[in-house]
Amino acid sequence: MLDTKPLLFPSSFPAISRGLLQTLQVNLGYLCNLSCTHCHVNAGPKRTELMDLSTVDLVLSYVDRHGIKCVDLTGGAPEMNPHFRYLVRELKKRGLEVIDRCNLTVLLEPGFEDLANFLAQNDVRIVASLPCYEAKNVAEQRGKGVYESSVEALKILNTLGYGEQGHLSLDLVYNPNGAFLPPPQASLEQDYKRELKAAHGITFDQLLTITNMPISRFGSVLESKGKFQYYLALLKDNFSEQNLASVMCKSLISVDWQGYVYDCDFNQMLEMPLKMALQDAIVTDKSKLHLRDIIESNLTGQSIQIAEHCYGCTAGQGSSCGGALD
């Protein structure tokens, strides 16, 4: 796989700093039952990296000390981590919002047949990847048969009460199938709701449009096709300064499967660890900070690590793990 990291430095992206920390995004590992072309973590069935129980418990300790409101579980397929259910139960005992970044098809995997019921019983918010409402486009990004499996999984979730306004929350995620920005989120959501309802009787709450980042697997695809610089220019040409105020890294930090800390999930994949100033002057000389290193620290006001990929979060309507910013 091509290394796109050198192409992202130096950066002209504006300096930003963190506000009040509200969300802890936890990558439970890179194991996944799929290998999607847009996946920025290079997840797949052969990956073996998984967060262990001691690190899961450290996540819980951090949550307890810092008044975190939401824990966002991602991967890979986060549900394939053997400690996923333990972590969810413990977080729900604490009254936190728990997000499961679900690829839908995992709900049909052998050994996971009761997973949908578990998620419903624990009031877990599902944010599910479905890059298009048509089978052809989904097959191009995620593989043959994935669309059909996703539809089956969505129907199961609907029968459990997911996707009904005011009940269990089910959001879908759109990623572009190429080197272009997502269309307007509101109008695309209407298209998704109309087409999925008409074709399959499926309902959901929100559509979240997320810009593809020029890193990892997608970055390598761009580079191999000679479109890397074109895509970076597209992101920069569509920079919107107003989106700087609400980029996700201002209220979120990302924890990798080993417990190391980053300003966001994308920085994690670029091996750009969080840097913390001590006494507002000295930046720690540790190459990577672990969650245990910052468990007593207040991150408000700390500088956020930036590179050219950050333009992906501010281009056009903006993009975050919660969808469009405006």
**Does 283 have pLDDT greater than 60?**
no
Residue 323 in any domain: the answer is no
CATH number at residue 142: 3.20.20
pLDDT, average across residues 250-279: 89
Q: What is the pLDDT of residues 65-83, one digit of tens each?
A: 999 999 999 998 999 999 9
pLDDT score at 37: 60
Residue 133 in any domain: the answer is yes
**Does 282 have pLDDT greater than 50?**
no
Quote the number of domains for the chain: 1
Arithmetic mean of pLDDT over the chain: 90
pLDDT score at 140: 79
Residue 321 in any domain: the answer is no
Strands 70-74 and 23-27: parallel
Q: What is the pLDDT of residues 190-217, one digit of tens each?
A: 999 999 999 999 999 999 999 988 988 8
Q: Is the dihedral of CA 162, 56, 43, 233 positive or negative?
A: positive
Kindly indicate the confidence band of residue 279, based on its pLDDT and cuts at 50, 70 and 90: very low
Residue 252 in any domain: the answer is yes
Task: Provide Rg for the chain, Cα atoms.
Answer: 19
C-alpha 24/C-alpha 35 separation (Å) is 25
pLDDT score at 91: 98
0.85 exceeded by pTM:
yes
Q: Are the C-beta atoms of 321 and 253 separated by less than 8 Å?
A: no
User: Mean pLDDT: which of 3-12, 251-260, 263-272 is highest?
Assistant: 251-260
Residue 237 in any domain: the answer is yes
How far is the CA of 198 from the CAs of 37, 141, 148, 168, 193, in angstroms? 28, 23, 15, 22, 8
Residue 235 in any domain: the answer is yes
C-alpha 234/C-alpha 248 separation (Å) is 21
Domain range enclosing 139: 5-314
- Cα 25 vs. chain centroid, distance in angstroms? 8
Residue 35: enclosing H or E segment and its boundaries?
Answer: none
How far is the CA of 73 from the CAs of 127, 140, 281, 310, in angstroms? 10, 26, 33, 22
Residue 326 in any domain: the answer is no
